[in-house]
Amino acid sequence: MDEMTQLRELRADAPVPDRAALAPGRRRLTTAIAGRNRRARGLRADWRIASLGAVVAITAAALSITQLVDTSAPRPSAPATVAGDLDLSSPEAALGRAADFLERQEAPPEPRADQWIYTRGVDAQQEKQWAEAPAEIRDKMSMAYSPESWVPYDNKAAESDESDTDYRTARETYKLAADLPEDPEALLAELRKVFPTGSGPDGTPEAKDEHSFRALSVLLESYPIPPDAQARIYRAMATVGGVEVTDHLIRDASGRQVIAVTRDHDRGDSRREILIDPVDYSYAGERDVVTRTHEIPEPGGLEPTVHKRGDVLIDIARTRAAVVDAKGQKP
């Protein structure tokens, strides 16, 4: 299993459906760091409970996968008041403007098979977990936490691994995005087919709209995606039931002001937020935010964990993404 596959199993503190087979790894990790067990919980599919090895091996590649425009190129100058050029009155307005902008951009060439995808970002939660892990645990890991990641664009071995139904290599997602239909309904149907919902031990099946939003978010993390394809994705996202846009810019994990496109989870007490840069409309990260104050029981008579409304459970920012010629090269 490569780093990107491990990455998609990294959502340690997210709420909603559990993955029983992976729960022991989650418990071992938290015991090593905090000295006690916690109830395993994770969002279906790409928000998966991390095994002990995955958490420290994964770098902030959670930040990895997508950007609408190649961030290795110069960004447009931000206007004095970014929000003044935005329309955050509705998903249709905000995402429609983003799609209009992207459709005017020239698509860079597809990466070569021998190139690599570089990403850098901020994941304070993972950095904190690594810092708090006992030295003997860190010493056993083959990799240390790093905010930077390199993955091959073309990875035939990973493409043949069918153990993770959500994972696709950078080459696969580029091709998938480029071939998506214009019609939003047809586009969403295609993505639901490519990123199937859970069943049985893999989690509770999702309703159509939640499934669509998750599938969109999985693809949006991919890098690179042609700008015209990104435009189609945004237009389709605006049609998903329950999708909203926050009426003001928020701060992401790196301190930037970003657009938040949100949808409450059908089960659970939090919402998922897809973060978008308000200048070039590139993918900027993701958050999971508590929508209702609630308690989570703890085993062994321990005090329950209290999640208050507004608490941010997951806060990941991607600050750079680019195509490079070799692993270790920086743009």
pLDDT at res. 310: 93
Is 67 a member of any domain?
A: yes
Residue in this structure with the two tokens 């609408």, named with its chain if needed: 68
What lies within 8 Å, CB to CB, of 322 at 6+ separation is 70, 71, 72, 117, 118, 331
Return the closest-CA partner of residue 140 out of 30, 52, 49, 31: 52
Amino acid letter, 123: D
C-alpha–C-alpha distance, residues 29 and 92, integer Å? 42
In this predicted model, what pLDDT tens digit does every residue of 316-328 receive, in sequence order?
A: 999 999 999 999 9
Q: Pick the residue with more confidence: 1 or 195?
A: 195
Asked if pLDDT for residue 33 goes beyond 60, the answer is no
Report the pLDDT averaged over residues 203-209: 87
Residue 130 — very low, low, confident or very high, per pLDDT cuts 50/70/90?
confident
- Residues 172 and 167: their CA atoms lie apart, in Å, by 9
Name the nearest CA neighbour of 244 among 100, 89, 14, 82. Answer: 89
123 in a domain, yes or no? yes
Give the separation between CA 52 and CA 30, rounded to whole angstroms.
9
Domain count within the chain: 1
Secondary structure (DSSP) of 216-250: HHHHHT-S---HHHHHHHHHHHTTSTT-EE-SS-E
Q: What is the pLDDT of residue 235?
A: 98
Is 84 part of any domain? Answer: yes
Tell me what pLDDT residue 170 has: 95
User: What's the domain range around 108?
Assistant: 3-324
Average pLDDT, stretch 121-129?
85
* Assigned domain for 55 exists: yes
Of the pLDDT bands very low, low, confident and very high (cuts 50, 70, 90), residue 247 is very high
Residue 153 domain-assigned (yes or no): yes
pLDDT tens column, 44-70: 333 332 322 333 333 333 333 333 334
CA 67 to chain centre: 12
pLDDT at 49: 28
Q: Is the pLDDT confidence value at 93 over 60?
A: yes
Model pLDDT, residue 2 = 42
Kindly provide the b/e burial profile for residues 42-63, where b requires at least 16 CB atoms within 10 angstroms of the residue's own CB. bbbbbbbbbbbbbbbbbbbbbb
Count of alpha carbons within 13 angstroms of residue 169, beta-carbon side = 20
Give the residue-averaged pLDDT of 124-144: 79
pTM of the model: 0.74
In a domain, 27, yes or no: yes
Flag whether 316 is in a domain. Answer: yes
- Which comes out higher in pLDDT, residue 146 or 213? 213
Task: Please give the pLDDT value at position 142.
Answer: 64
Contact 227, 105 (CB under 8 A): yes
Q: Which range, 5-14, 133-142, 286-295, is most confident?
A: 286-295
Q: What percent of the chain has pLDDT over 70?
A: 72
pLDDT confidence tier of residue 276, bands split at 50, 70 and 90: very high
Residue 172 has pLDDT above 50, yes or no: yes
- Cα–Cα distance measured from residue 182 to residue 255, given in angstroms and rounded to the nearest whole number: 34
Q: What is the mean pLDDT of residues 89-98?
A: 97
pLDDT above 90 covers a percentage of the chain that reads 56
Predicted confidence at residue 203, as pLDDT, reads 66
Report the mean per-residue pLDDT for the chain.
78
Classify residue 331: in a domain, yes or no.
no
